Each structure stands twice: as C-alpha cells, then as structure tokens.
Chain A
C-alpha cells in the first residue's frame, strides 16, 4: 500500500526516507519539488500528485511534508488519515514534531515507523500500544543517553477481549476527565451578519481507571448533536435508542466523540468586530480602525484574542496605536497581527491609525479580511452540557471532571 515515506522540509530537502516494499529512488520526489515550486506557498502544494509511475500523497504539518509513495490504487482518505496518524504519533513521542526534533530522534523515528507499517500496511498505530513497544525518549533517558527505549515485553493489551483497552490496568488515583472543546468556524460579512457559521466540537477524555470500568455519559441536551462520530468503544445502538454514551474507555487519552452543530440559529457568535478601513484613490494615506467586542458570551470573558489580517499589496506601512495589547506589521508579507489578550467589556480594545500606500497605485480592489483567534473558558458555545457520568463494573469511586472550552477555528470577518 505505502511503498515509501519521504519527509521533506519546506525548503525542499529530503531529510528522512523509509522504504517498505521496495526501495523507491529519491528522484520520485522531483515531481513533488516541481509541484512545490509551482505552488507559491507551501500550503498550496496539492495533496495528491500523479507521476508517471507513482502517486505521491502528502500531508503538510509543522512545516514538514510527509510524502507517501503509492503504486497501486488506494483509498486516498485512508492514506491521508494514516499520514496524519504518523504525525500525531511523532508529536506524542517528542512533544513537538519539527525537523530538528525528528533529526535528533531519527533512530526512534525509524523504530516507530517500523512498527507502524509492515510491508506497507498499517500495523500498530494506537499510541499506548506503540509506547509499550518503544518507549518514548524521556528527559532522564536523554540525559543518560541510555536509549533502551525498547520495551522488553510485548504489549499486554493485545490479548484483551476489548481491543482498545489492555487488561490489568491499575491506578492509585482513579480519575476520569472530559474536555468539551468547541471550535467556531465562521465567515462574517462587511455588515456584521453571519454568512456561514458552524461549530465543530470534540469531547476528549483522559481516563485513568483501574480494571474494566463501564461508563455511561449522558447529556442535558443530546438532541443538539446531529452529526456525531464516535470512538469505536462507544455502543452505537445505545446512542441511537437512548441518546446515552455507553462505553468501556481505552486507557489514557482518547477522543470520545466529535460532533458538528451547523444549524445556523444555534451558532452564537461570541465576538463582533467593528471596522473602518478605507483607501482613497487620490491620497497615499488610508484610514484603518478596528474595534473588537463581546457578544453572546453568557458572561464569560474572551481571552487570547489575536487579530491577523493580510493587507493588500499596495500598503507600504502602517502606523497604528492599539488601546491594549501589541501589534506588528510585516512590510514584506503585508501581514498585520495584533495580540489583544483579554477583552474587557467596559473598555473595548481598538486599533487605530493610518496606512501609507504606494504612491500612484490605484486603490486595491478588495479590502483585507480579518482573521480572529480567541478562547473562552468554561463555556461550550453550542450550549452542550454533560448531565452525569456513571460507572459500572468496578467498586471504587472515581474522581470525575468536566471542562468546557470554546475556541475560534477559521473565524474571519470580511471588510
């Protein structure tokens, strides 16, 4: 299925290669470099590149291209998903997944890849099983440089009746944490009305419970979730009939479910942006003013607000004064970025000033788009609420915790 894997950095160097079925010459990547050159930005390199003898499927993450070489017809989503899993695994192992880190840990990387794929087919990809096969480098191990990072024993979980959970798990503190994280993707038009908005939510869990616990999780308002996909552990029939999540959890961290809320009336937009950006045909100065304010936040504070905007080519420089936070403008990439921080509803943060434009150039066709990042703690913007969590099958009393968080996904305001 996957013949070879090449890791290529954004400047076009292959810094790691691994072959499974047969050795595919590096020169196959020339087609990739060609595409990379054609695409002005690294992000624009198409994920599937046909070459005379192979297909190159790639994902681009952390400024690294993970390029899989395919020779036979394959389900593309399968391969792409797998490549993402590889990246996730690296991230899991090394904390960050970057070129220097991979180079430093090249040996572990190889070992991991060797276990993840055999003959081009995915084998062990669950991170807790992998970690039993190959121990991740820890600080102590790095200091001592005793990279005895190979487990002496096979993962015990493999013979368990429940494939995602190993047997004989033991903890002194039994705890189960659930994080409800929602991301808002929205496009807001000039006048402030919503063009499109949707919420992508996930429930990530960290379950450290002894034995074989059987959990049920119920929601106050399960009807909210129309579009749900589950971790394989969730009993689907039970959800369909009673709208209750019933499952034997995997050990450790996992994503219990992900959902979408796209009905527009349900998506509350927690921020608004007032903007006044104007170019004039005659003058070489433009006015720039934006204000960010909260709306429909249910009393919670909006934090971590960052405003970025790609200014038109004609803008030479900007002189702006923020009422709070810091801002930067890169005259080369024309990228304006304003780190606002928290929004205080009493005193709305604003950024005002002028833009100096290229003399003689006609005014830009389009006003810039503003991208917004923010976070709201303790709030699931869709209104989703967990009702209760019960445990069966074990005697002890676990510690349970639920956390809510809302973030901006692709949130943009057109001006």
Chain B
C-alpha cells in the first residue's frame, strides 16, 4: 500500500514534468515492455523469446519501472534499443522490484519463465478469469492512479507476483491491446521480427488493430504447440480454421449472450454494471479487440439509455489506451459523460488524452483535444491549456477547429472570471485562417469568452474580411456570420450600399436560415432607408412563401410567424398570395392556427369574399380549437367588413353547436364594443343562443350583451331570469358577478320586469353566497341602490361602445424598425414578454437577446390584463415610440428651433436647483437627447432637448427654470403638427421631470 501511495505522488510529478509534452513519460514503458515481451499477444513469438532470451527477461521489470521514474526517452524502434533498455534497467533496479510488485496481477506473462508458461498452458479458462479479476483488483487496492499505459508497465512488473497460470492468462490480452501508439506497435512488430523472423510480420498485423485473426493464426502455425492450450488463443484460432475471412462467425456464441443480457436493463443498473465490469476486466475479452469493443459499446448503449454507468469508470479508462480509433472514441465519449461524477478517476485519463494530442494522426489529435475540453470537471484547465494552444497552431484545420472552440470551453471552466488577453488576441488573429469553419468557430468562441464585454467586436477590417469570406462558408456559417455582422455599423452610405450589394445573393439562398439572416441584416442596416427595407421584404416574399409551404412543418410554422410580423407593418404585403394560406386538411394544428391568423391580417377588398368563405368552412372543422380560432378570425375581420361577417356569424349560431355558439357570442361582445353599427344585427341574432352555452366565458359574454343592450332584446329579462333561478348551481363566480352587473343595468332601463329578480339575486348574493368577491359586489350594488336611482345611473351607465379601443388592440401598422431587431429570433414565435421571462431566469447564463432600446410606451408592460381590456378604458397612449440615437447637431437644432412655432407650452412646479447630470441621464433612458444645458445652479437655468419618434417627427424642447417663481417652463416645438404624439411626448417628459423632482425633494 505504502509504495502505492508513493507511486501516485511520483506519477503526479511525472505528469507535471511532462505536461507540456504529453505522454512522453509513459511511452517508454510501453515501448520497453514491448521490447521485453516482444510479441506477448502472439504466444508463439513469446515462446520464441522465452527460448532464446532468458537474461533479458530478468531485467525487463526494472526497465519498465525505470521508465516510470521519469526517465523518459522514447524508445525508438531502432538499433540502440537493446542498449537503452539495459541502461534503463540499470538505472532503477530497486524500483522495479519494490514499486511494481504490489500492483495488479495482469503482468505480461509472456516474458516469464518457460516453466511458468507451461503450467499455464494447461490452465482452463476459469484460470484466466481469475487472472482478470486479479488484474482489476490490483490497481484499485493499491490506490494506484494508473493510466492505462501506466497500468501496463505495472503489469510488466506484476508478473513477478502472479506466478502461475492465471496471471499470465490475464497478461496476454494486455499485450494484445496494449499498444498505446503506433510506435509501440512498431516495436512489437520489430522485436518479434527479430526474435522470430517467421512470426514477426503476422504479429505486426495482429497488433495493428485490424483484429483479423485469420492471417495471424494461420501464420503462427509453428508456435501453435505452445500457444494452443491457452483458451484465448484457442478461441481465436478456432474460427480461423472454420472461416478465415469472417472470424466473427466462429465466436458468435460468447458474444451471442450479450443481446440476451441487454434486454434486461430494467432489472436495475447495478446488475448490469457488475456484469459489464466483469466483462471489461475479463482478459479474454480484453485480448480480443472486437469483443472488447462490443462490451464497450454495450456500456455506451446503456449510458445513452440513461443508466448510471459510472461504476465502470476505472475499467473504461484502461480501455482508452488503444490504437483502435473507434474504441478510443467510445471511451472518450464515456469519459466526457461521467468525468464530472468521478473527477479523481478522470484525471487518470488525462495522461492518455495529452499523449493523443500529439499523435501524428490529426483525427486522433482533434478527437483527444475535443474530449479533453469536454470533460467538464474542476481542475482540468491546467492540463488543457497547453494542448489547446498547440492546437491553435496545428497544421490540420480539423484540429484548429476543435482547439478554437476548446478556448470557449476552457473559459467556461474557469467560471467566466478573467479573460485571457493573449488568447483573445490569438483568436482574433485566427479570424484570418484559411479554413472557413475555423473562422466561424473563432467568432463563436470569442462571442462566448467576451460575453461580459458584449461579445466579439466587429470592426471595419473584420467586417470586410468576413464579407469577403461569406461565399466560402457553409450555410450554418453564413447564417451565423450574418448575425454577427449586425453589430457592424457602416461608416458611410456608400459602404452600406456596397455591403448590401455584396449580400444580395444571400437573399436567394436555398437555406431559409440564411435568407432570414440576410433579411434581418438588410432591415437593420437600412433602417434609415424605408424604401430599401420595403424592397427587401418584397424580395424575400418568394423564399418566405416557399418556406411557408415547405415540406417541413416546423419550418412552415416559423416562417408563418415571420409572415405575421411583416404583415404588422405592411398589411397588403401578402394579399395577392392569400390562397397560399388556405389550410389543407392534413396540416398539423399549429400551422392551421397560424394560417388563420395570417388570413385575418391580409384581408383586403379584393379577397375578402374568398377569405371569408374559406374561414366559414373552417368553422365547422372537427377540431373545436381550430373552429373557434376561425370564428375569432372572422370576428377580427368584422372590424373592417362588419356586415358580411356578422351575417356569417349569425348563420353559425343556427348550427346550435355548443363550442361554436359560445365563441360567436364572445366575438359579438367584442364587436359591439368596437363597431356599434352592428348592434342591431347582433341583438336580433342573440335570442335562443342561451340554450347552447355552458362555459363560463360564453355565459359572461352573453350576460354582458343582455345587460348592456337589453333594451333592444325583447326577451332579455327572461333569459336573465333563468340565470337568476339557477344561480345556486352556478359554479363560476365570474358569471355571478357579470350577472349582478348586467341585471342592475337592465333594471335601469326595464325596471318593471327586473325589479323582482334583482331583489332575489341581491338577497342570494348577500345572504347565501360563499364567494367573498361576489358577496361584496352584491353589497356594493345594494348600497349603491340605497343612494338613489340617479346615482346608480351616473355610475353604472358608461358609454356602450368605444371604437378607439380597436386601435389599441391592433397597433395598426407598426413601423418595420420596431420589430427589425426581433426578426429571425424566437420573439415572433412566442412573443417578447415570454422570452424576457425566460432570459431573466438565466441570470449570468443569459447572453442577452438584443434588448430593444426603443422606448415603447405603448407596450410598456401589460398593465391591463388581456381579459379586461374591454372594460377598462385606457387613455389613448397613441403609439408613440421615440427612436434612440437620434443625434441632432447643435446647428441643425438651432435652425429648426427658430423655424418652428411653439406647439405646446406649460409650466411644471419645481423646487430647488436642478442636477443636470441626473436629468440628462433620466432623459436619455426615454430616448430624449440633450442638446445643450446650463451648468448646475445657473440663473436662469435652461436646457434644450430633442427627440424623434419612429415616424420621423421631431420634438424640440426648451426647459426654462426661473428660481424665483419655483416652476419650470416647458416649451415644445414639433416639425409635424400632430396632437396625439405631442400629448404622448409631453406626458413622457412630465413623468421624467416629475420623477427627478421627487427624488430631489
């Protein structure tokens, strides 16, 4: 045990020392071991050795151990090999015996004495199993942090202990699998060639990873006598006689048990882990490349199914020392998954990984580097830094790609704390790399590393470089670069249009992702040129429509969401293509719903007839949701084409279908409020529909209509009476509330018919109702009635309709610039509010979906919940949107100021002095720019402000503070006389001034 601990320390030292040249410390062991044991895997060669090289065998363990001690010169398969081996042995003679002895049993038995071998020959397979167990247990007991390659050297020595069959049995497979690099194998081949020429080449092939038993066992005829009895060899040889070309068939049976076991993962992962562990340690399995790989594949398979396979970590680490790339890949995959769970053990794997990072094969280098960067465990940073830096300068682009992304991973591991300036510079310089994917990866990586500083900076040279590389990138790269280019602000108009011309062809790309990316870039770059924006939207109409009828439903859906967004600004844009948005029967729900919404928005005089007819067809759809959506859509269209729609809706009532009637009535309610001219028609349609309404929403709508327009509906009191009769069994409190209000309203215009039931209802609500809100409402109305009928009228009878609310809902014709920054993001799909909520949760994780810096007062949060918007009347906030970055020069301001008349003047109470800085900042927040301002404490104090809204209307403001009369005089000038926006602006200004004033006092 003691020596085991010491050994771990040594290992760490060795690791530290060789950190920069990964794997050097270890390679000699394998090399030496190979030399020693020559062709362990091939019993025949080994036996040959045994015959002619007894003295060497003695020195071999020491040689292996000596190598461990850090004497690390890679043993080259050259002429000096024997000499070096001997010298190694000499240098650390003691270590070989003491340090190595306690290690696992799976030593290389081949180099062992002839007698040992012979006794082993007779050992049955069971003995082999014993050996395997020993081999597995050994390292763990000793607490040895053995990398696989390391384990090998241990095993070299361990054969001292494991006399007898089992030990050797266990050893043999290691010989076979052990080659931890091409060189190692070369050595094996060469040595065996030397010791037994006849056998050498075959040995080489066997080691080379093909796992082809055929040539090997055919070739090893001479050695067969010795090799035969070991069961492993037997197993290998059998098939080669049976069918040399398909060795796998011969040993179907041992592998054949695997599927049977695989079917039982439900027994719980423990059994599976135990069993796999056994299999992984089994020397027979290990010896056999394919079986070994099969077991590893099973581990991975279980892992992917979510079973906890971390129990076999140690065994998997061992398996990583192989020349077989597939096996390496599998093991790395495993390690990346479980490294965070077993950080201690995962450290063992790093050595192998480091070594692979300098493998001659770029595939292996890339693979190792990627795996190492993905280990996701604390403390790994120090080991990966150097390999990453090397990788950045690798000559294979494959490795550079991995290394560049590795930088980002490493940064994440560091916990986002400090940014390594040198690394960032290196990445910036790699933007000029030849390989397009390296370039894109650099951008991605920088973006993550510099997250806190706002991401990668795109200056003019970078932007131009990227623009020139665009055609060479793949579609993903193009889409992402287009996204990055959004940050670049061209210096001149000329440059801007050059860029647009350069990117023109991407609007016709075959990838919708690229088309959308390009569209967004166009919209943003051309934000000052509305005609260009419109042009672009016309150009992408084709691709967008194509995406809308794409084979992929999901693409369709996303494209439709964007179509809707475009329609907000350009209502007529898709009108001529309205038929594209007709639903077909087989489409999934979400597409149908989007299409109906689109149809509702693109309707115009020419197509209204066809669209309504189509929608009418959807209203009887089997799916209730879809039918209801269609009805709501008709309700939407009814705001413009009232008569036709009301007629259709009335017809729908005739179907007497519950789900249809309820929605129609709700639509009517909204419609009457917005388009009072249809009241008459609605009132005529209503009688009779109470029979088909069961749900809360529908009942509320109906009761509301009966209450507000009851004087025009003859049977209104009787319908309400039914509701009053059944109020005890009514389950929805909201319906009761609505009933109270409606009945009271109706009482005001038809008192005779209502008095009695109103009394009953109030009595019920006050005496029997359990719901507090309903009871309070009842009490409230009761007391109100006590105050006299005139008072009730004054309070309860508000206007019965208000078309201006329609404007508030539609937000008609939002300018393109208001949504351009959201284009091609998830916002059109699920709305800004939704996304903001999600991003908020993420805290530091969140990269910030370009926050909208337009001060949008119209949409400043849902103060009024959706369901109440009908009843609460909000002052029309007009859609005032002030544009950020409206920079006016002082001269221009002065000129305009003098050329305009004062549009509005008012005084604002103000006490004390002004803090110009605070005020300026506060104004900046709402996108009002300060042109000039007196310094603090000046008398009189003056400030000139400017702002511009999205329609281009300028607001110029003068603030004048005369301390003696303690009020601020505000004069506003406007270059286009528009009162709504002016009022909006003044209220914004007042809010700001009020807030600042409050803070001060």
Would A236 and B505 count as touching, CB distance under 8 A?
yes
CA distance A265 to B304 in the complex (A): 54
A residues near B246, Cβ cutoff 8 Å: 143-144
A residues near B333, Cβ cutoff 8 Å: 110, 114
Would B513 and A77 count as touching, CB distance under 8 A?
yes
- Which of B46-54, B395-403, B733-741 is the interface stretch? B395-403
Q: CB-CB contacts of B233-276 with A at 8 A, as 1s and 0s?
A: 00000000000001010000000000000000000000000000
Interface size on A, residues (CB 8 A): 101
Contact of A73 among B561, B579, B835 (CB under 8 A): B835
Would A52 and B479 count as touching, CB distance under 8 A?
no
Would B476 and A122 count as touching, CB distance under 8 A?
yes
CB distance from B476 to the nearest CB of A (A): 4
Would B329 and A150 count as touching, CB distance under 8 A?
yes
CB distance from A337 to the nearest CB of B (A): 13
B residues near A74, Cβ cutoff 8 Å: 825-826
Q: CB-CB contacts of B799-839 with A at 8 A, as 1s and 0s?
A: 00000000000000000000000001111011000110111
Contact of A125 among B301, B325, B476 (CB under 8 A): B476
Contact of A52 among B290, B472, B838 (CB under 8 A): B838
B538 in the interface, Cβ–Cβ < 8 Å?
no
B residues near A121, Cβ cutoff 8 Å: 405, 440-441, 444, 476, 480
B residues near A124, Cβ cutoff 8 Å: 437
B residues near A143, Cβ cutoff 8 Å: 246, 248
CA distance A312 to B248 in the complex (A): 56
With A17-B304, A144-B248, A229-B546 already in contact, the answer to whether A60 and B838 are too (CB < 8 A) is no
CA distance A58 to B558 in the complex (A): 12
Contact of A119 among B301, B305, B329, B408 (CB under 8 A): B408
- In chain B, positions 361-387 with a C-beta closer than 8 Å to chain A are 361-363, 370, 376
A227 in the interface, Cβ–Cβ < 8 Å?
yes
Would B830 and A50 count as touching, CB distance under 8 A?
yes
Would B586 and A371 count as touching, CB distance under 8 A?
yes
Nearest to A20 among chain B residues (CB) is B374
B414 in the interface, Cβ–Cβ < 8 Å?
no
Nearest to A81 among chain B residues (CB) is B513
Would A195 and B542 count as touching, CB distance under 8 A?
no
Nearest to B478 among chain A residues (CB) is A232
- Which of A171-179, A254-262, A269-277, A395-403 is the interface stretch? A254-262
B residues near A260, Cβ cutoff 8 Å: 542, 545-546, 549
Contact of B248 among A26, A145, A187, A257 (CB under 8 A): A145
- In chain A, positions 1-48 with a C-beta closer than 8 Å to chain B are 14-19, 21-23, 26, 39, 41, 43-44, 46-48
With A50-B838, A365-B655 already in contact, the answer to whether A150 and B825 are too (CB < 8 A) is no
- Which of A151-159, A293-301, A353-361 is the interface stretch? A151-159
Would B838 and A80 count as touching, CB distance under 8 A?
no
Q: CB-CB contacts of B425-460 with A at 8 A, as 1s and 0s?
A: 000000000111100110010000000000000000
Nearest to B326 among chain A residues (CB) is A150
Would A47 and B590 count as touching, CB distance under 8 A?
yes
CA distance A107 to B337 in the complex (A): 14
CA distance A81 to B547 in the complex (A): 11
CA distance A103 to B542 in the complex (A): 40
Contact of A107 among B330, B435, B479, B584 (CB under 8 A): B330
Would B579 and A195 count as touching, CB distance under 8 A?
yes
CA distance A206 to B611 in the complex (A): 43
Nearest to A150 among chain B residues (CB) is B325
With A50-B834, A145-B290, A226-B542 already in contact, the answer to whether A81 and B408 are too (CB < 8 A) is no
Q: CB-CB contacts of A55-79 with B at 8 A, as 1s and 0s?
A: 1011110000000001111111110
Q: CB-CB contacts of B615-657 with A at 8 A, as 1s and 0s?
A: 0010011100000000000000000000000000000000101
Would B826 and A125 count as touching, CB distance under 8 A?
no
Would A119 and B590 count as touching, CB distance under 8 A?
no
B residues near A154, Cβ cutoff 8 Å: 362-363, 396, 398
A residues near B826, Cβ cutoff 8 Å: 48, 55, 70, 73-74, 76
CA distance A145 to B294 in the complex (A): 9
Which among B246, B512, B590, B826 has the highest number of chain A CB atoms within 10 Å?
A: B826
9 closest cross-chain pairs (CB), A and B: A73-B849, A196-B579, A47-B554, A122-B476, A78-B513, A227-B542, A229-B510, A44-B589, A236-B505
Contacts A77-B512, A153-B363 aside, 18 further interface pairs with beta carbons under 8 A come to A39-B589, A51-B838, A52-B838, A72-B847, A74-B826, A75-B825, A76-B825, A81-B555, A114-B329, A119-B408, A121-B480, A149-B326, A150-B363, A152-B361, A154-B398, A232-B510, A236-B505, A410-B584
22 contacts between A and B (CB under 8 A): A16-B304, A22-B376, A26-B306, A48-B558, A75-B516, A81-B555, A110-B333, A122-B474, A144-B248, A147-B326, A150-B363, A158-B397, A159-B435, A198-B580, A227-B543, A229-B543, A230-B509, A232-B510, A257-B510, A313-B622, A371-B586, A410-B587
Chain B residues proximal to chain A, CB less than 8 Å: 210-211, 246, 248, 290, 293-294, 297, 300-301, 304-306, 324-326, 329-330, 333, 337, 340, 361-363, 370, 376, 396-398, 401-402, 405, 408-409, 412, 434-437, 440-441, 444, 471-476, 479-480, 483, 505, 508-513, 515-517, 542-543, 545-547, 549, 552-555, 557-559, 561, 577, 579-580, 582, 584-590, 614, 617, 620-622, 655, 657, 824-827, 829-830, 834-835, 837-839, 841-842, 845-847, 849-850
